[in-house]
Structures are given as C-alpha cells and as structure tokens.
Amino acid sequence: MIIDVHSHTPQFRHAVPPEHRRLHHTWRPDRSVDSVYSWNDFLAAQQPADKSIVFGVAWAPGEITGGVNGFNEPGDVAIGVNDATSAFALAHPDRLIGFMSVHPHDPKALEEIERSRTDLGLKGIKMGANYQVFEPLESRALAIYREAERHGLPILFHIGTSPVRTAPIKYAHPLVVDEIAMRYPNLKIIMAHMGHPWTVDTAVVIRKHPNVYADVSGLLYRPYTFYEGMIKATEWNVLDKLLFASDYPITTPAETLHALRTVNAIVEGTALPRVPADKIEQIIHRDSLTLLGLS
C-alpha cells in the first residue's frame, strides 16, 4: 500500500471555472503549477496512492480561508477550510483521510479542534507557523499541541524555507520541532519537506524523537537537494523515519515515485554514496497510518 501523507484540499467540488484557474511560474524551477483544482483533478493525480492525507490551511481570524473567493461562493466546496476537507474526505473514505487546520490566534481554536474531530471526522492537524504567521512556541500554539497530544491527533508542520515574503523563515526551522517534541513527547509529528534546506537538522530531530517523522514531499524538482537530503538520512540512519508524500498540487505521487526510484541517478559514474534501493521501496510502501496512530 502507498500512503501519501501530504496533499492539499481542492477548492472546487466540480470543474474549475476557467476564470479561476491560477498558474504559478515560480513555485517550481521546471514547470508551472496550477494551484486551483477540482475533486476530480485531485483524484486523478493521486491515483498512484492508495490513500492520501488531505488538508487545507486556516489563516488568521478574518482572513479568507481555502477558496479563490472563499468556500462559501456558489458552486464551491463548503463553508470553511475544515468543512471543505471533511466534505471531500467523507465523499471518498476509501481514498482520503482528512486533517483539520486551526490558527492559534483564533479564540475558538480549541473549539474548532473539537468540532473538526467529533463532527467532521478529521483525524489530524495541519499547521505552518511561517505561512500562518504565529510564534510556534507561544502559549496559544502550545495549547493546540497539548490538545492534539491529548486526543491522539498527529500534527503535520510545514518545515523548511518559503519564498513568501510575509512568512518568517525562523518559524519553520527544524529545531523548532525539537522544542515542541521535548514538551509533548507523545505527540505524533510530521515535519514536511524534510525541512529543506536544513535536512541534516531534520535528520537529527527525527533520530532523537521516537514520535517525530519527516515527509519527502516537495523536493524532487531540486534533484541535488533531494539527493543530499536522502543521503543525510542514510548516514544518520533515519530512512525508517521518512514518509512518502507528494505535496499535490505542487508535485504528484507519480513524480515522487519516479524521483525516489531515480534519486541516485545524479551521481551515476561517481564514487559518491547511494541511497539503498531496498530502503527507498520501504519508504514508498511504509505503513504511515499505523505509525501515526491512524490505522
């Protein structure tokens, strides 16, 4: 079985109106990315994965969440980012596992966790302190981590750099997760993108903490960075802590599968070290749901 632990909720239930299509030419160096897509677009792209964890991002109170013009526009998915994810996941329970997102600055964040957990059937939390612009060790954020640990809700953090000018890079450094994991040792954590470019910092954090993992999403279009991160994970003996992930729509499961299986091609004809092929297959077929307490 192939589990994709990192994908993003579609904005539209049905076909995307042409005027809402949005191409980004700087998100990847090799091709443009269409950031607005439908349920069918998602399901077709995710076909290589047996199951996908899917989520949106909750912005600060008062900001639009989820859709091009908000999820409450006619014909769109649902009202609110977590409702949108829940509607999608419940419509395809054999393929999808929904995660919620909350913002620490929302005075009703803990209530939203309870609503999303009990009423919407969402199984974990997506957070990105840099994109959401909150101090990841402030008291309001700690309250969310504590609640997640109490209810067995894994948290997937965006970890690593970002080109967004308003996103503080220091909030997404891997060593932030070290601090969180020391305070909440039973909290299951996924560090997205192997924390690139700080992949060695990610390696030492996931080696140190039994309940902290890293996903391999969003790295393949920087092939040397991807190779370097995988070699660091090999040398630090943490390949067993890496989870398969795509970061759709930025990359797809098919692209990620190919990139993993050809990660050593960049050093062909050299004496540089290789990532063991059997370990790569173990990453691809890892039972991530059991590791995260979601099976």
Of 89, 148, 156, nearest to 129 (Cα)?
Answer: 156
Distance separating alpha carbons of residues 156 and 233, to the nearest angstrom: 19
- Look up the pTM and report it: 0.93
**The predicted structure's pLDDT at residue 163:** 80
**The predicted structure's pLDDT at residue 205:** 99
Q: For the chain, how far is it from start to end, CA to CA, in angstroms?
A: 12
Cβ pair 53, 156 in contact under 8 A: yes
Residues in the chain: 295
Sign of CA dihedral 257, 221, 280, 56: negative
Cβ pair 178, 164 in contact under 8 A: no
Number of domains in the chain: 1
Distance separating alpha carbons of residues 286 and 84, to the nearest angstrom: 28
Residue 130 has pLDDT above 50, yes or no: yes
Q: Are strands 23-24 and 33-34 parallel, antiparallel or unpaired?
A: antiparallel
pLDDT range class, residue 247, cuts 50, 70, 90: very high
Alpha-carbon dihedral angle through residues 147, 150, 156, 157, given to the nearest 10 degrees:
50
CATH code, 14: 3.20.20.140
Tokens 């932030």 belong to residue: 176
Structure tokens that stand for 262 in this block: 């050809």
Cβ pair 103, 60 in contact under 8 A: yes
In sequence order, the β-bridge partners of residue 155 are 125, 189
Lowest-confidence pick of 13-22, 122-131, 240-249: 13-22
**The predicted structure's pLDDT at residue 131:** 92
**The predicted structure's pLDDT at residue 166:** 86
In sequence order, the β-bridge partners of residue 23 are 34
Residue 152 has pLDDT above 50, yes or no: yes
Distance separating alpha carbons of residues 35 and 42, to the nearest angstrom: 11
> What is the per-residue pLDDT across 31-58, written as a single tens digit (0 to 9) for each?
878 788 999 999 999 999 999 999 999 9
Distance separating alpha carbons of residues 252 and 47, to the nearest angstrom: 9
The mean of the pLDDT values for the chain is 92
Residue 25 has pLDDT above 80, yes or no: no
Residue 78 has pLDDT above 80, yes or no: no
Q: Any alpha helices (H) in the chain, and if so which ranges?
A: 39-45, 81-91, 109-118, 129-132, 139-151, 174-183, 199-208, 223-235, 253-261, 277-284, 288-291
Residues spanned by the domain of 252: 3-291
Mean pLDDT, residues 245-254: 96
pLDDT range class, residue 68, cuts 50, 70, 90: very low
Mean pLDDT, residues 122-149: 97
| R_g of the chain, CA atoms, integer Å | 18
Mean pLDDT, residues 241-256: 97
The crossing angle, in degrees rounded to 10, of helices 81-91 and 109-118 is 10
